[in-house]
Chains A and B, each alone.
Chain A
């Protein structure tokens, strides 16, 4: 019996040894296993590092920034954005407002600018080989308007203004625009409809409800410069990376000389920034978007290890990315502090935000001080307050405003409360405001913690509520908060962002239920005005009203921070002079992707590592054999 057990133990020992040796030999043999892969490895590939996987392959569902980048690579739009943020032809080769002399316009009596005509390319082919034509454009738009409008929520800031679409011939369409009342009305952004065009033959059997909420779209078919593959579904569900192939039949190559010069584009998803930062330093990825702290670390590293191989850029994003502290203006909300509705409280709050500190310390200087939702990326449409309008950082002034509004300190002088005759709450109501913040957003969290300390000086007790993004949406869209941190990004036409603070957005896109007759009047006019200068005036008024009401306080415009490998590709260009080359310019046909030329990269291999592992494996085997040859050495038995 004992002999059997002894044999069994020896067997276990041998098996264990065999496992170790097998593992080591397996590793040492990896290069051989990969030998069949040499062809794939020679492809020219652009790898883009991203911090979170895209949330949907369906362009009517996904909402994160990476999803929009993906859609812009696979799908085309009617009109694209050039490197200077101007408009350039894409599926539409030309476009114009239909003149009043047109027989149809005369017959309908519609105002000038309410009907736009688009000539479409005859060279575009869907990735599955089907030809593209006007029916696809008509389908895409009709899919999202009328009775389908509610379900197809993704591009509502555009579809809200579209009355109908008309096919004039196989490669010509007309879009008819309307105002908020549904009447024909001029549309100033008919050349900036930033929505992907989808193939009718793929989507026609999918109900708008499914398309808007549940359809997976596992093999996205577009006409864009890059194509998905049969592996896309597996790649998407695995969440590691998405591999796109260059579209050899891309219409832009024929019409606009826009030819992609590398074979594959890989979106590589990371769950933690340290590995992504290490990979751009090592050259494992070619292009990456970083957070301000991550970018700051990279810049520090580059100062210690200067190299021409890594290029960097930090600047305003093309999407006018802004961060805001918003006040819930929902007068019917219960369980929240009514004092937040007092304009004097909001003015005091506006004066007590040290935006310079936030910019410098929380964003490591990789941001610009904010004023309204339209950042300076909009050029002359950016409005900034003059000296008399500006809510400068001034705690003394904030205290004076609150004193004048009758807010008195409690006996221990730790917090203010409503004084007698307050129009918003009974006397003694504490000036205590909660601020709902997404806990994942480090900069927002730091901002709130900073303000909590700061506002003790003016007697406002700030109670941070840190929640997940999902819970944040739950709280904010139900209006049950006093203050909240939020952020916005928009499309090339300012209408997209100005819509957010209009009364029309309440019940939909509005996060703070803000409603101002003056704002609405100017917004409505701006949405219908064709004259750029007059329209600019209305937009300035919107910006000014929003700023002065202080219910939507823009703290900073965080920079888009990027790094790339100049030793892997040439043609990165000057992103400062041409911001439309940056990754945040995701409205298809980004010039960057046509200018990048792969360079010969000296690839070092892991061969020496594997050889080392092989040597270790051999040494382990040798030691084991020696021990076996020498025979067992008995231990003294020493029991306690």
Chain B
């Protein structure tokens, strides 16, 4: 039902936006007959209701998302999305997993050693990189790497030889190209998970049952891992769910700075160029991703906290 509502809203959203799509397809204008032909081709001369049913029919029964109007004129949206989704999943997906992993570890370390030098240095580190504009950080990386390691690729998701490489070579090529943007992404997002883990863990450590655990003579790491962390993870899981949902939307600034063609850049490009079919498809993907992520978060919370009933 939710997905159906999302799809319907997605359809309506682009029908109420201003502008004549035929004028966008032909940058230098066209005569009235051509415009009429185009309207007929895109089904724009049908009623909105008829367009809506055609949209649902194409989507559910044919798996069609339409043709790009401007970004890749005439190309099937499904064929356009493929490489961009893959690039985003690799960069933002792996980057987010890495951020979560390192962020939670760093957050728990700084909480456990709160007030000590590790905590003060770690917290300052998080705040500095959390506040730093992504594009600035990306440009600094490009400039530094370009100057001191000029052979390292600073653009793109893969190199010129990619299509001629075997599978191992392709993985290696992508890894090489992915490291710089991923570094920028992880540095930016790691702070989110560290800060929330740290504050959540500090809250948990003040609970009475923690004193009980210590009084029972448990070792420090056992207290942390077995008693504190599971409870501290509840708000972290919620934040993780929100972030995982947004993985599909990519990271526009990082993708642009590193000329990494992902979904974030495609969204930006499609919005600027009024490519309704591409926008529709991306927003549908993102909505479904957020929906699935929330569902998984609910499941994880249920697992972590038995008090939560499904």
Contacts and interface: CB of A to CB of B under 8 A. Distances in A.
B164 A2 contact: no
A279 interface: yes
B27 A63 contact: yes
Given A231-B163, A235-B163, A440-B272, A477 B257 contact: no
Interface stretch (A89-97, A267-275, A376-384, A529-537): A267-275
Interface stretch (A35-43, A190-198, A324-332): A35-43
Interface residues of B, number: 87
B241 to A, nearest CB: 20
A397 B256 CA distance: 46
Interface stretch (A98-106, A446-454, A632-640): A632-640
A56 B155 contact: no
Nearest to B94: A23
A507 B146 contact: no
Given A282-B146, A508-B28, A216 B154 contact: no
A240 B163 CA distance: 12
Contact of A278 (B41, B143, B157, B222): B143
A413 interface: no
B261 A274 contact: no
A275 B24 contact: no
Contacts of B149: 606, 609
A456 interface: no
B83 interface: yes
A278 B154 contact: yes
A241 B259 contact: no
Interface stretch (B165-173, B189-197, B294-302): B165-173
A30 B175 contact: yes
Given A474-B20, A477-B23, A639-B214, A2 B222 contact: yes
Contacts of B31: 150, 507-508
Interface stretch (B52-60, B74-82, B232-240): B74-82
Contacts of A45: 160
B33 interface: yes
Contacts of B255: 271
Contacts of B151: 604-606, 609
A606 B24 CA distance: 45
A628 interface: no
Contacts of B67: 214
B194 to A, nearest CB: 16
Interface in A238-255: 238-241, 243
A27 interface: yes
Tier of interface size on chain A: 35 or more
Contact of A209 (B25, B41, B171): B41
Nearest to A31: B172
B306 interface: no
Contact of A36 (B23, B169, B175, B202): B169
A9 B225 contact: yes
Interface in B19-72: 19-20, 23-34, 37-38, 41, 67, 70-72
Contact of B176 (A30, A469, A510): A30
22 contacts: A27-B175, A34-B169, A34-B172, A40-B161, A55-B73, A63-B28, A153-B28, A153-B30, A214-B73, A236-B72, A274-B139, A275-B146, A278-B146, A282-B146, A283-B150, A474-B18, A474-B19, A474-B24, A604-B151, A635-B112, A639-B206, A640-B206
Interface of A: 2, 5-6, 9, 16, 26-27, 29-30, 33-34, 36-37, 40-41, 45, 47, 55-56, 58, 61-63, 150-151, 153, 209, 213-216, 231, 234-241, 243, 266, 268-272, 274-276, 278-279, 281-284, 440, 468-471, 473-474, 477-478, 507-511, 604-606, 609, 632, 634-637, 639-640
What are the 9 closest A-B residue pairs judged by CB atoms, nearest first?
Answer: A33-B172, A278-B146, A470-B274, A635-B220, A282-B150, A214-B74, A238-B83, A271-B259, A239-B261
